[in-house]
Amino acid sequence: MSTLINKVLFTRAGYGLTVLRIFVGIIFAAHGAQKLFGMFGGYGIAGTAQYMESLGLAPGHLMAILSGGTEFFGGLALIIGLLVRPAALGLTILSLVAIFTVHISHGLFMTNNGYEFALALLGGSIAVLIEGAGKLSVDRAIAD
């Protein structure tokens, strides 16, 4: 296996990171499903595009597809443990954009639409980015 692919897939992490990866993946995938498909009370691509435009993230339609796709497919990647480092990188960038465009002006706490929840997801994404998928993952099975 090539060195680059092995570096992407390799993990020494244990079961704890596996649990973190799966729970963070579920949350991201659900948020992506809201944006892309209107599931779980979401607004779908059209509503998300309008919201993105209102934030100054244009073109809104493209931003809705990119953010929803990153959350949904990145979340699925975390859940099954396949290519988690590239997925976690995308989710890390997405979380930073969400924090600095939507939440930072509202302070820390969620009760005021602050950034605490996005910060927790950012921490989970960074942990997966650094440590890899953990013991129970497709990445580990491929790398071994």
Question: Per mean pLDDT, which range of 1-5, 84-88, 102-106, 118-122 is the poorest?
Answer: 1-5
Residue 11 has pLDDT above 90, yes or no: no
Domain boundaries, the chain: 1-141
Provide the 8-state DSSP code for 100: I
Q: What pLDDT score was predicted for residue 7?
A: 77
Indicate the burial class of 39 (C-beta count within 10 angstroms; 0-12, 13-18, 19 or more): middle
Peptide linkage before 59 cis (omega within 30 of 0): yes
Average pLDDT over residues 107-123: 96
- On whether the CB atoms of residues 17 and 134 are closer than 8 A, the answer is yes
Q: What pLDDT score was predicted for residue 1?
A: 54
CA–chain centroid gap for 139, Å, is 17
Q: What is the mean pLDDT of the chain?
A: 94
- Which tokens sit at 9? 């897939």
Q: What is the pLDDT of residues 49-98, one digit of tens each?
A: 999 999 999 999 999 999 999 999 999 999 999 999 999 999 999 999 99
Residue with the bigger pLDDT between 40 and 12: it is 40
